[in-house]
Amino acid sequence: MTIDLDQAVENFAASRDLTVGIEEEFAILDPATLELAPRFEQLRDGALEVPALVGAITGELISSEIEIISGRGETLSDAIERQRERRRALFALAERHDLALGATGTHPWADYRNQQIIDTAHYRRVADDLRYVARRNNTFSLHVHVGIKDINRAVRICDRLRVVLPLLLAVSANSPYVDGQDSGLHSARTQIFTKSFPRCGIPEPFGSWDAYRDYIQTLIDVGSIIEFTQVWWSVRPHFSFGTVEVRICDVQMTAAESEGLAALMVAVVARCARDEDEGRPIAQTAGRLVEENMWRAIRYGMDAKIVNFDRRSEHPAAEALEMLLAWTAPVHGEIGIEPQLPERNGAQRQRGLIAAGYPREDVYAEAVRETRESYGRGY
């Protein structure tokens, strides 16, 4: 995936607003022990015999992880239907190979030192370049791509999304455990990924494609990157697909949560696009202030209080979410979206079991059960 900046401009010029792609990363597990199982290559090869999975799965750093992708949906509903069919096929394939799949942002007790990097040129390069930082990153995410026409417009929409990203993380938080212990966090995945990888987390605003292009060209010129995907920001313009890619969220324990969260992300991008087209001013919130909300989302998830820095006030995350839904409401009907989110997210449900005294193995077993019953039937 080498970098052709002129081709990126052409790809965005050919893009269409509000196409949608969904990417979900699952842990591959031994069903008896729920340990990570390095069997990606086996599932990849088996998928060649399943029409619904041809071109629909890919590797993601370690061989005990598998990613399923919807491909381009012309609408959110189209992307969801495509993803449902592929999920059903993937879970059936895993069962035939005597494997289970997990959907929390981290595995509760797996030792990252024992995981195998998949044998591709890209991930060999990542591992060789980042060493400990790459090997430490045994995490599982939900990414959503939203088509946006015009690359300058896409960069500015990414700028608008910066202040919203911490709340999207709070909604998605689903990883209280890491390294065999209760981390005390709601999204341990975010702590070990975005705080470790270079060119990661929430970027500063760029203002224009010219500024973003200069940044990428500088990284190329000084030998920092050779692929644009080595820029791991939590939101970025995807040069190949002509999309705004939202990358902030933990993978979701159930299909209903994943689809509701995808709908929310599409609605937020659509509203940002409308505000951009109508010339509404972009919030000039400093990165150091956005980071305050990021920490609150990592630590407390939907139990956090989210700060409105314009008003210097804080609101319970649930209240902030209601305000976000109200802000996006004008675009819901136009694009056929009504985000449906659970009363308690994955981290809250796991923390409820932890507080009740359940051991980590039982907490994870319950999460895997929810995942199997939800994703396995396609939802």
Task: Decide if 90 contacts 53 (C-beta within 8 A).
Answer: yes
Give the chain's count of helices (H) and strands (E). Answer: 14, 13
In the chain, % of residues over pLDDT 70: 99
CA distance 379 to 360: 27
Q: Domain limits of the chain?
A: 5-375
Interhelix angle 76-96/40-47, nearest 10 degrees: 110
Q: What are 175's strand-pairing partners?
A: 187
pLDDT in tens, 347-367: 999 999 999 999 999 999 999
Using the predicted structure, report yes or no on whether residue 379 has a pLDDT greater than 70.
Answer: no
Q: Is the pLDDT of residue 252 over 80?
A: yes
C-alpha to C-alpha distance for 152 and 240, rounded to whole angstroms: 15
Report the SS3 class of residue 368: helix
Asked which of 103-112, 116-125, 223-232, 303-312 is least confident by mean pLDDT, the reply is 116-125
Provide the pLDDT for residue 251.
98
Nearest Cα neighbor of 110 from 44, 177, 43 is 177
Residue 376 is predicted with a pLDDT of 82
Task: Taking residues 280-306, report their average pLDDT.
Answer: 96
Phi-psi category of residue 198: left, alpha or beta, with phi > 0 → left and psi -120 to 50 → alpha? beta
Is-contact 114 136, C-beta < 8 A? no
Question: Is residue 170 over pLDDT 70?
Answer: yes
Q: Are 372 and 255 in contact (CB under 8 A)?
A: no
Containing 69, the helix (H) or strand (E) segment is: strand 62-69
SS3 61: coil
Q: Given this model, what pLDDT does residue 1 score?
A: 56
Neighbouring-strand partners of residue 250: 141
Q: How confident is the model at residue 264 (pLDDT cuts 50, 70, 90)?
A: very high
pLDDT for res 138: 95
| 304, HSE (Cβ side, Cα atoms, 13 Å) | 30
Q: Are 158 and 283 in contact (CB under 8 A)?
A: no
CA angle, residues 183, 185, 189, in degrees to nearest 5: 85
Residues contacting 282, CB < 8 A, separation 6+: 156, 159, 160, 205
Mean pLDDT of the region 224-232: 94
User: pLDDT band at 189, cuts 50/70/90?
Assistant: very high
Distance CA 166, CA 304 (A): 11
- Burial environment of residue 155 by CB neighbours within 10 A (0 to 12, 13 to 18, 19 or more): buried
What CATH architecture does domain 5-375 belong to?
2-Layer Sandwich (3.30)
pLDDT at 82 over 60: yes
Look at 32-41, 304-313, 349-358, 363-372 and tell me which has the smallest mean pLDDT. 304-313
Question: Is the pLDDT assigned to residue 257 strictly greater than 80?
Answer: yes
For residue 59, name the pLDDT band (cuts at 50, 70, 90): very high
- Please state the rounded mean pLDDT for residues 123-151: 94
Residue labelled with tokens 């341990």:
188
Residue 378: per-residue pLDDT: 59
HSE-up (13 A, CA, CB side) for residue 249: 31
pTM across the whole model: 0.96
- Say which residue the tokens 């969260």 belong to: 261
Tokens encoding 276 = 């951009």
Closest Cα to residue 72, out of 241, 187, 219? 241
